[in-house]
Structure 1
Amino acid sequence: MLLIVFTLSMFASATLLFLVEPMIAKMLLPLLGGTPAVWNTCMVFFQIMLLAGYFYAYVAMKWLGRRTQIVVHLTLVLLPLLVSSLPLHLPRGWEPPTQNSPVFWLLGVLVVSVGLPFFVLSSSTPVLQRWFGDTHHKQASDPYFLYAASNVGSLAGLMAYPFLLEPLLRLSEQSRLWKSGYIIFVLMTLACAALVWNSKSRLATMNLAEAETAATKRIWVERLRWIALAFVPSSLMIGITTALTTDVPAIPLFWVLPLALYLISFILVFAKRQLISHDWLVRRMPFLILAALVPVVSQTKLPLALLLTLYLLVLFVVALVCHGELARSRPAVSRLTEFYLWISVGGVIGGIFNSLVAPLVFHSVLEFPLVLIAAALLRPPIDVKALTGSALLWAKRKDWLLPLALGIVMLAVIIGVGHFGFKPSRPLNILLFGYAMLWCLSFGKRPVRFAAGVAALFFASTFYPGSFGHILHAERSFYGVSRVTNDPDGKFRYLFHGGTIHGIQSLDDTKSREPLAYFTRNGPAGDIFRTEQARLPHGNIAVVGLGAGAMACHLAPGQTLTYYEIDPSVTGIAENPKYFTFLSQCAPNAKIILGDARLKLRDAPDGQYGLISLDAFSGDTIPMHLVTREAVELYKRKLAPGGVLVFQISNLYLQMSPILAALADDAHLKIATADDTYVSPKEIEDGKFPSRWIVMARDEKAIHDLATNSSTPGRWVPVERRQGTRVWTDDYSNLLSIIKWH
């Protein structure tokens, strides 16, 4: 009975804890443009609150008597129900800053909205586990198996959200359901307290020799090792989440998968029976680290399914190895809360490093390869013979000399490739990095040598131009990494956001006013602007998403242009004539409003714009909150009579048409689409990209005029709503239904 009640209580607390994480993050996404940094910052907050909960548990167990502990903890558990923290909701009137990073604003919102219940739940795992460890149950001497049960609950909560709660329930319904679950957790905690209220502490009878033995193990070397082993999987989890959601939407599924594997690793290593051999994992880890490094060093864009599989497999194996080392070094039950405290410290440092330090210090996502190097260093050695004397000295020297040789050779080859004019390509990448990877893999038995080899390989690869070409400028903000580059032929200048091109300009002065990429004059964008010029030659145009500013060159004399851009770094790049001259040449008086478009468009007068075009991006997609019922109603209010609403939906990973068709039908708007995906080799050479567009309007005439003014007859066709497609709202969306998995 005792074991069942404690197991179910810990399962319930962990389930609630990890249900609330994606739920509150999804509530916040509409305020911050759908950027993956929202989730990463939320993860830092969750880790800090977890550390605070573990610290409270450590202090309470160390300084308070049994019954005092119980009274204090029960009071804490009841507090969220007494101070109106539930159901969960965001505080009213809080709007993110537009000029500065919203990180600290976001942390403040999280403290106010979910801080107290999250703190309570995070403290319950070590408190309940320690209460059980103090009993005379036959399994109380090693209660770490309850940590596995807790992580099973965490996993259940995580997986339930994207596959059950998100597709079926609105956010308000999810919040009310979560409150009901919290009440059940309170009742179960009361039951645990009742079961241990009169029991004597098993630890109180521990003899002096055991206490002295426990005390001798409290050394800082051990604690620092715990911190390091917890740091690497935590940092890698957030780094992989960033990598996965840079070019695909920041949706709960892609947050949940890395975190789920992270939790499963704890379940497996702290279980009573080991299902996967620790030594087997240690031997496979070098190969997987190098495999994960391939897209980074070669700047190759892999298919989503392959990238997802590779990164998640690497995270899982690294987490199993690091957490396995933690499980092997777990202390006696008397130090249980201390052990969890130091693990939490490592997790928090990993989160802070990735989410707060890295965006300020690095111009690109360097934290991912750096933590792979740290993982290589922490990995236990493989079949290393005991050496002494000169043999040991020579082996240690080779730990640095061989990686140095690898780095020098790689650097020389990369410089030579550039000197002889070889352009980056898949065969060249295989030839260039394949041999280097095999050479580095030969260092795998010795952790220091292998880590140094990985570092040398990564350093040399920074001189390889890859798909980005010659980088003129790189800048990182809360919203991602922006790069300005020239192509190897010197014909075009590119603006990259993450790994996706979001602007091209010809370096030929005679062609520098020509919109390229998705916005060419002979493509759908040209059709849209020609129609708008004929209909409203002196109209106002709003464009959501600045990019390089190419749309400015579609502007006719007498028309005014207003850009809405959330990322200050993109604005700085587009306005700087050193990088792009679309704005300075074509629309020097264009207005740029910084901030989220949904929030800023509310301030525009109703009926202000004859055309609203959405080309906002978070990686390779329109942020979800810009394609909801409430968003479309806002756009309708801001459109002038006869105005049109435009969506640029060119996308590698999402099929947006069904959602937009449902929204148009719901808003009683006419809708048409243009599929301009066939682009000739000559057009590609001239800088044109395949594109897809959707236009909505109140009346059929606007759609008819668009088809009439098209440079390609029959390009614009109506879109029918698919039967059963549910309308997205601010309270409901389901991106799983529109992901392209192939």
Structure 2
Amino acid sequence: MTRLLFAATIFCSAFLLFLIQPIVSKHILPWFGGSASVWATCMVFFQVTLLAGYAYADWITRHLPPRLQAGLHLSLLAVSALTFSVLAGPDWKPHGSEDPAWRILLLLSASIGLPYFLLSTTGPLIQAWASRLQISAAVYRFYSLSNLASLAALVSYPFLIEPHAAVSTQASVWSGGYVLFTLLCTGCTLSLVRRAAAGSVETEAGKHAADEPAPGWRRQLLWLALSAAGSWLLLAVTNHITQNIAAIPFLWLLPLTLYLLSFVLCFESDRWYARRRFMLPTALVLGACAWGLQNHAVAFNAKLAVPLYAGGLFLACMCLHGELAQMRPAPRHLTRFYLMLSLGGAIGGIGVGLLAPRLLASYYELGLGLAAAALLALLLPRRTLLLAGGAAALALFCGFFLTKQISQGLREARRMERSFYGALRTQDVLAADGRSVVRQFLHGSIKHGEQYLAAERRREPTTYYGPDSGIGLALDLRQGPRRLGLIGLGTGTLAAYGRKGDVFRFYELDPHVLHLAQTEFSFMRDSAARIETVMGDARLSMEKEAPQGFDILAVDAFSGDAIPVHLLTREAIALYLRHVKPDGIIAFHVTNRFLALAPVVERLAEEAGLASVLISDDAEGTGFAVTDWVLVSRDAQALNDAFDEASSPIESIPGLGVWRDDYNNLFQVLK
């Protein structure tokens, strides 16, 4: 019965540990521009807090007797249960000038810091108690169980929880789950106290002599290095396949699922991993991954690249975590083992999540991670000469193609910049007509605009903003001086439509985008209109502004996978209406390869009593891009009269609800 209680507590804690991550991340995502980097920063917080929890478990099991362990832990559980708040309050919204990464870390610490810390302590602490109480001979299977629970939470959230419940409801249910966890953990703690009173808890002094000696610092550093390499590769592969290869929704789930699965298999039983079976195929696949970083035929082919890099991550993690499982110490040292694993995970997460965006001009961390993983094979115990030689050769091979990737990027790109929000680059290439040269602006794999370099053509609009596109037709409809709001700057292409007396007000989240638009492209400085720029998240900025009286408000931020959903909700529509004139138009750019967003806009418009029309432009033979724009207005008659011939019917999605700040369902709008 005690074993079942301990197992239930570990499963519950790990499930809640992973479930809270998407809940709080989704809650704060609108405050920081809906960027995928918000998730990466949250991951750093979770890994560092996990490290703190593991350090706590290691310290109290080594330095406190069972009764004091129980008293301290019960006190912390009581404080957390009485004081925690899952969702941060609006006072934590950014003001526009602070570093978003540090703001996120502070608000997470203040809101869920203590509960997450205590959930983090559970795995190693309960396993240490189980070992002392001698209730299980295979305590490391509890670690496999905790990773299985984490995997269950990870997979269930986007498919079972998010589509059916608002964030506030999710937080309430999670709070109930946390209360259940505190009761289960209290039961485990009381069991420890009872067994200690009965004298049946094995103490450090009474440990039998058959136990191995304490692991030395070399062994502990190897644990740390293997764990750090796995965490580094996880985040680096996630960045690579979601930013550089394909902006496909939910694709980030794949690498994290494979990462957790490797832990489940390696710590469930030694039968899943054998060095002789894994090393050669892993080396071959990692070599192919390194080669693919500088080969466009692989790098931009999602059907090849996604399986290659996902498979490489899984094989690498099976080797890294398999070696860790084989080096696990006797149960009396398991808290130190888990502490080093957690420290390694935090180091890998900080390296990719916080340091790489500040130190590397592009996504070079994957090449570095591949070479580092190969070098670690040189440090493994019981290594053969063949293994050492092969590892050194693989490290050199990965390093060679990393240098080729860097030199290729420097050669092909005019400018490369990287920030909290992603990697940006500009490059000069031949236009689709094969004669003209254009300068392109790319954010990962997403093109955000281009401009002809020839002086006679540089004022022409390009890509998604042709005269027959939805925004082009809306602009042509308005005579006289026009006041436009534009959410999403890109290259500033729409400024090409500016006339004398017009005011174009751009809202842009990333200062690096504004810098490149002003220095690498000339749309804004060539425009006859007066250009205004507002830095920061558009919604937060517009909430602080007086009504702007826009004739047209263009919302152009939905081309990637991590779309800023907070710009496409009931609350957002109400804010937009405050800033447009009574006869004004809100133009949503909904061109997206993977998401059907036009029905979402239509539902929002219907609920608000607005009219909407879809303008689909195939741009055949024009050199412009194929686009979909949904135009929304209070005046249904005027909208239909102006765009009836150009409009297309919007294909409805059965059961599609109105998106709100605390509810959306991306899974429902997948194409």
Q: Output the TM-score relative to the length of structure 1.
A: 0.84
Taking the aligned partners of 1:618 and 1:172, their CA distance within structure 2 comes to: 28
Cα shift at 1:258: 2.5
> Could you say which residue in structure 2 is the equivalent of 1:392?
none
Taking the aligned partners of 1:634 and 1:444, their CA distance within structure 2 comes to: 62
Taking the aligned partners of 1:307 and 1:695, their CA distance within structure 2 comes to: 37
> Could you say which residue in structure 2 is the equivalent of 1:420?
none
* Equivalent residue for 1:698, pick from 607, 630, 634: 634
Match of 1:193, as an amino acid?
T
> Could you say which residue in structure 2 is the equivalent of 1:324?
322
- Would you say the 8 A contact 1:497–1:619 is kept in 2? no
**Pair 1:448 & 2:448 matched:** no
1:462 is paired with a residue whose SS is helix
> Could you say which residue in structure 1 is the equivalent of 2:16?
16
Equivalences, count: 660
Cα shift at 1:282: 2.0
Cα shift at 1:445: 6.7
**Pair 1:271 & 2:268 matched:** yes
* Residue-by-residue CA offset, 1:429-451 (whole Å, 9 max, x unaligned): xxxxxxxxxxxxxx997001111
* Residue-by-residue CA offset, 1:176-204 (whole Å, 9 max, x unaligned): 10111111111111221222223222244
Q: How does 1:304-453 map to 2 (within 5 A)?
A: 304=302, 307-379=305-377, 446-453=390-397
Residues 1:245 and 1:669: Cα distance change in structure 2 (over 3 Å) = farther
Taking the aligned partners of 2:322 and 2:273, their CA distance within structure 1 comes to: 10
> Could you say which residue in structure 1 is the equivalent of 2:141?
145
Q: How does 1:452-601 map to 2 (within 5 A)?
A: 452-464=396-408, 470-487=412-429, 491-532=437-478, 534=479, 537-576=480-519, 579-587=520-528, 589-601=530-542
- Would you say the 8 A contact 1:203–1:334 is kept in 2? no
Taking the aligned partners of 2:656 and 2:548, their CA distance within structure 1 comes to: 30
> Could you say which residue in structure 2 is the equivalent of 1:175?
171
Taking the aligned partners of 1:294 and 1:528, their CA distance within structure 2 comes to: 47
Cα shift at 1:206: 4.4
> Could you say which residue in structure 1 is the equivalent of 2:130?
132
Cα shift at 1:461: 3.6
Taking the aligned partners of 2:599 and 2:274, their CA distance within structure 1 comes to: 47
Residues 1:242 and 1:733: Cα distance change in structure 2 (over 3 Å) = same
Residues 1:584 and 1:716: Cα distance change in structure 2 (over 3 Å) = same
Residues 1:455 and 1:77: Cα distance change in structure 2 (over 3 Å) = same
Taking the aligned partners of 2:579 and 2:329, their CA distance within structure 1 comes to: 63
* Residue-by-residue CA offset, 1:447-505 (whole Å, 9 max, x unaligned): 0111101211221243336xx98311111011111111111577111111112211211
- Would you say the 8 A contact 2:362–2:417 is kept in 1? yes
> Could you say which residue in structure 1 is the equivalent of 2:278?
281
* Equivalent residue for 1:194, pick from 190, 206, 213: 190
Cα shift at 1:621: 6.2
2:154 is paired with a residue whose SS is helix
Residues 1:246 and 1:287: Cα distance change in structure 2 (over 3 Å) = same
Taking the aligned partners of 1:290 and 1:58, their CA distance within structure 2 comes to: 38
Residues 1:525 and 1:3: Cα distance change in structure 2 (over 3 Å) = same
**Pair 1:232 & 2:229 matched:** yes
> Could you say which residue in structure 2 is the equivalent of 1:161?
157
- Would you say the 8 A contact 1:547–1:574 is kept in 2? yes
Match of 2:654, as an amino acid?
Q
Taking the aligned partners of 2:620 and 2:286, their CA distance within structure 1 comes to: 38
Give the unaligned 5+ runs of structure 2.
none
1:496 is paired with a residue whose SS is strand
> Could you say which residue in structure 2 is the equivalent of 1:82?
82
Taking the aligned partners of 1:76 and 1:377, their CA distance within structure 2 comes to: 42
* Residue-by-residue CA offset, 1:81-122 (whole Å, 9 max, x unaligned): 222x14x11122122253453110110111111111100100
2:505 is paired with a residue whose SS is strand
**Pair 1:723 & 2:654 matched:** yes
Taking the aligned partners of 1:278 and 1:632, their CA distance within structure 2 comes to: 57
Taking the aligned partners of 2:33 and 2:418, their CA distance within structure 1 comes to: 16
Residues 1:274 and 1:206: Cα distance change in structure 2 (over 3 Å) = farther
| RMSD of equivalent CA atoms | 2.5
Taking the aligned partners of 2:162 and 2:171, their CA distance within structure 1 comes to: 11
Match of 2:493, as an amino acid?
A
> Could you say which residue in structure 2 is the equivalent of 1:38?
38
Cα shift at 1:704: 3.2
Taking the aligned partners of 1:177 and 1:57, their CA distance within structure 2 comes to: 27
* Equivalent residue for 1:297, pick from 294, 304, 325: 294
Taking the aligned partners of 1:450 and 1:308, their CA distance within structure 2 comes to: 21
- Would you say the 8 A contact 1:621–1:651 is kept in 2? no
> Could you say which residue in structure 2 is the equivalent of 1:214?
213
- Would you say the 8 A contact 1:13–1:185 is kept in 2? yes
* Equivalent residue for 2:606, pick from 637, 644, 665: 665
- Would you say the 8 A contact 1:231–1:350 is kept in 2? yes
Cα shift at 1:80: 1.6
Residues 1:679 and 1:250: Cα distance change in structure 2 (over 3 Å) = closer
- Would you say the 8 A contact 1:519–1:525 is kept in 2? yes
> Could you say which residue in structure 1 is the equivalent of 2:49?
49
Residues 1:484 and 1:101: Cα distance change in structure 2 (over 3 Å) = farther
**Pair 1:645 & 2:563 matched:** no
* Residue-by-residue CA offset, 1:387-409 (whole Å, 9 max, x unaligned): 6xxxxxxx9xxxxxxxxxxxxxx
Using the TM superposition, name which of 109-118 and 154-163 deviates more: 154-163
Cα shift at 1:209: 4.4
> Could you say which residue in structure 2 is the equivalent of 1:260?
257
1:363 is paired with a residue whose SS is coil
Taking the aligned partners of 1:631 and 1:308, their CA distance within structure 2 comes to: 34
Cα shift at 1:276: 5.2
**Pair 1:732 & 2:663 matched:** yes
Match of 1:519, as an amino acid?
Y
**Pair 1:606 & 2:547 matched:** yes
2:119 is paired with a residue whose SS is helix
**Pair 1:27 & 2:24 matched:** no
- Would you say the 8 A contact 1:369–1:458 is kept in 2? yes
- Would you say the 8 A contact 2:235–2:352 is kept in 1? yes
- Would you say the 8 A contact 1:101–1:478 is kept in 2? no
Taking the aligned partners of 1:74 and 1:523, their CA distance within structure 2 comes to: 63
* Residue-by-residue CA offset, 1:133-182 (whole Å, 9 max, x unaligned): 00133x34x41111111111111221221111101111111011011111
- Would you say the 8 A contact 2:226–2:320 is kept in 1? yes
Cα shift at 1:629: 1.1
1:453 is paired with a residue whose SS is helix
> Could you say which residue in structure 2 is the equivalent of 1:414?
none
Match of 1:732, as an amino acid?
Y
Residues 1:203 and 1:312: Cα distance change in structure 2 (over 3 Å) = farther
Match of 1:701, as an amino acid?
Q
Taking the aligned partners of 2:633 and 2:411, their CA distance within structure 1 comes to: 41
Cα shift at 1:604: 3.0
Q: Output the TM-score relative to the length of structure 2.
A: 0.93
Residues 1:670 and 1:718: Cα distance change in structure 2 (over 3 Å) = farther
Match of 1:269, as an amino acid?
C
Cα shift at 1:620: 5.7
* Equivalent residue for 2:557, pick from 593, 603, 616: 616
Taking the aligned partners of 1:71 and 1:336, their CA distance within structure 2 comes to: 22
1:602 is paired with a residue whose SS is helix
> Could you say which residue in structure 2 is the equivalent of 1:425?
none
Using the TM superposition, name which of 186-195 and 197-206 deviates more: 197-206
